[in-house]
Amino acid sequence: MSALLGGLLSALWPYLAAAGAALVAVLTAYGKGRSDQKSKTETKDLRDANDIRKQGADARAGAAIAPEQLRDDDGWRRD
């Protein structure tokens, strides 16, 4: 039994090694692509968060009105 198994493995060994090497290469490329995409996504999220913070700060700065100007006519018709 072991001679039969040994004979099969000796004939198939180069093919198994090539398939294993190809699988390792594909998984390595896949992992590299995923890590690169994750890095790009994190950078974009950080940039978007900074833009949102800046817009909020600009809005708060623009909302600061002197109290005596609160009742001035702003052009809107209200009841």
What pLDDT sits at residue 12? 82
| E strand intervals along the chain | none
Q: What length is written for the chain?
A: 79
pTM score of the predicted model: 0.49
Task: Count CA atoms within 13 Å of residue 22 on its CB side.
Answer: 6
Amino acid 10 reads S
Per-residue pLDDT of the chain (79 residues; tens, 9 = 90+): 577 777 777 888 888 899 999 999 999 999 999 999 988 999 999 999 999 999 998 888 877 777 777 777 777 777 5
- Give, in degrees to the nearest 5, the angle at Cα 72 between 69 and 77: 140
- CA 77 vs. chain centroid, Å, equals 47
Which stretches within the chain are classed as H helix?
Answer: 2-63
